[in-house]
Copies of this chain bind each other. A is one copy, B any other.
Amino acid sequence: MIKAIIFDLDNTLVDFMLLKRAAVNAAVYAMIDAGLKLTPDEIRDMINNIYDSEGIEYQQVFDKLLKEALGKVDYKIMSAGIVAYRKAREAALKPYPGVLPTLIELIKMGLKLAVVSDAPSKEAWLRLSYINFHHLFDVVITYDETRERKPSPVPFNLALKELGLKADECLMIGDWAERDMVGAKSVGMKTVFARYGDTFNTVNPDSDYDINSISELTDIVKKENGITK
C-alpha cells in the first residue's frame, strides 16, 4: 500500500528552467541599462559558461561576470543585475499547474509527502519557502544531508528512514529518468516519470507510470491501493 509520495523538486514541483531563464534574461537587460557595454547574447554566453563551470546554483555569478568583463565589480551594474534577477525569479517561481491542489488532495487521502532533491539545502528550502510549500512536506532531503546525488540510494534510504516507511510503500516522482527513476527503482520504490518537466526529450524513462500532469497522481495512488471510486 502506498503511504507516501516522494517528489523531486526542480522541474517536478517547480519549473526551474523557466525561472532561471526568466531571471537571467531580466538581469542581462538591467545590467545593459546600468551601463554594461556588451550585447545580450555576449552576457548570456558568459553567464552560461560560469554556470557550467561553477554549477547552476552559483551565487556569485554577477561578481564573476563583471570581473571577467570589466576587470572589477561595478556595484551599480551588479546591483541592477541582482535586483532584476530576484524580481524576475520571484515572479517566475511558481509550482506547475495542478501541483498545489494535488498535494492537498494527497494529504487529505492520508499520504505523507517528501522531497528528495540534489539541490543545496539553503537554495532548495528557499524555493520551497517562496511558494509557501515549506509547511506541506513531512520530510525534505537535500544534497547537504547526505552529500550523495541521485541515483545514489543514500538520499532515498534516508527519506525512507525519516518517513518510517518501507520502499514499497512509497512512490517516487521526478523528471530526470537516470537519477530519479533509476535511484528510486534501485531501492525498491515504484516510479512516476514527470514528463511535463522533461528537459532531455526522454524516450523511455523505464518507470511504472509516465504522466503529463501532476494531477494524474491521485488516480495512480487509488489504483495502487485498490480504491475503486
Chain A residues with CB under 8 Å of chain B are 30, 33-34, 75-76, 78-80, 82-84, 86, 121-122, 124-126, 128-130, 134-135, 140, 142, 144
Contact = CB atoms under 8 A, between A and B. Distances in A.
| Secondary structure class of chain A's binding surface, majority of residues | helix
B33 A135 contact: yes
Q: How many chain copies does the complex carry?
A: 2
A134 B34 contact: yes
A79 B33 contact: no
A142 B34 CA distance: 17
A83 to B, nearest CB: 4
B134 A76 contact: yes
Nearest to A145: B75
A75 B121 contact: yes
A216 to B, nearest CB: 29
Nearest to A121: B75
Contacts of A30: 129
A76 B140 contact: yes
A126 B78 CA distance: 9
A117 B129 CA distance: 33
